[in-house]
């Protein structure tokens, strides 16, 4: 009887190591996605700030506009891959490209119209949602859950749906 208990104990210990490693790997991936999303959301907000508040010359305005578009593309990529990883389905990512194309047309040095400014504010509010939801986990060593990342992405998409030039929906 003692031998059976010993064998069972050894088997449980041996089998629990791969399970532990899998959970650890999964948690690490969740934290990595969270950190990437947070970083790009902050960069997007910074780009909007520099574009609207700091662009003194046409050259810096063009640079800041290109920076914003690059950050929107990067945000789309990381959100789509995270959402696919977490839910198995993607977001309608072509909308981000449509947004970027329209923003590029509307971003004019010393001539931002009311709708463009409202859209930039909507993008800022949307990325603020991601920042508020994900920042508490950044660098703390605590693990964010799948549900928290999914809800942050969905709330972001809902806010982004208020843009004049874009309507987001999931596949």
Q: Per the domain annotation, does 166 fall within a domain?
A: no
**Integer angstrom CA distances of residue 9 from 2, 21, 162:** 10, 19, 57
Q: Determine how many CB atoms are found less than 10 A away from the CB of residue 141.
A: 6
Q: Per the domain annotation, does 132 fall within a domain?
A: yes
Q: Per the domain annotation, does 37 fall within a domain?
A: yes
Q: Per the domain annotation, does 49 fall within a domain?
A: yes
Position 157 pLDDT exceeds 80: yes
Q: Which has the higher per-residue pLDDT, 130 or 141?
A: 130
Position 34 pLDDT exceeds 80: yes
Q: Per the domain annotation, does 24 fall within a domain?
A: no
What string of DSSP letters covers 106-132?
A: H--TT---HHHHHHHHHHHHHHHHHHH
Q: Per the domain annotation, does 85 fall within a domain?
A: yes
Position 42 pLDDT exceeds 90: yes
pTM score, whole prediction: 0.76
What pLDDT, in 10s, does the model give residues 114-125? 778 888 888 899
Q: Per the domain annotation, does 14 fall within a domain?
A: no
Q: Determine how many CB atoms are found less than 10 A away from the CB of residue 36.
A: 18
What residue numbers bound the domain in which 40 lies? 30-160
Q: Which has the higher per-residue pLDDT, 168 or 16?
A: 16
- What's the total number of domains in the chain? 1
The half-sphere exposure of 99 on its side-chain side, counting CA atoms within 13 A, is 26
Q: Per the domain annotation, does 22 fall within a domain?
A: no
């Amino acid at each position: 009887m003692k031998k059976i208990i010993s064998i069972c104990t050894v088997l449980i210990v041996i089998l629990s190591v791969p399970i532990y490693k899998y959970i650890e790997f999964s948690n690490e991936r969740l934290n990595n996605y969270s950190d990437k999303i947070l970083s790009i959301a902050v960069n997007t907000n910074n780009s909007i700030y520099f574009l609207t508040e700091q662009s003194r010359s046409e050259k810096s305005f063009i640079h800041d506009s290109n920076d914003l578009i690059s950050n929107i593309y990067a945000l789309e990529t990381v959100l789509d891959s995270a959402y696919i990883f977490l839910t198995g389905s993607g977001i309608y990512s072509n909308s981000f490209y449509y947004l970027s194309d329209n923003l590029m047309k509307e971003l004019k040095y010393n001539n931002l119209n009311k709708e463009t400014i409202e859209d930039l504010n909507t993008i800022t509010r949307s990325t603020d949602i991601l920042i508020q939801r994900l920042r508490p986990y950044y660098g703390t060593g605590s693990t964010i859950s799948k549900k928290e990342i999914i809800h942050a992405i969905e709330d972001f998409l809902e806010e982004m749906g208020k843009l004049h030039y874009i309507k987001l929906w999931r596949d």
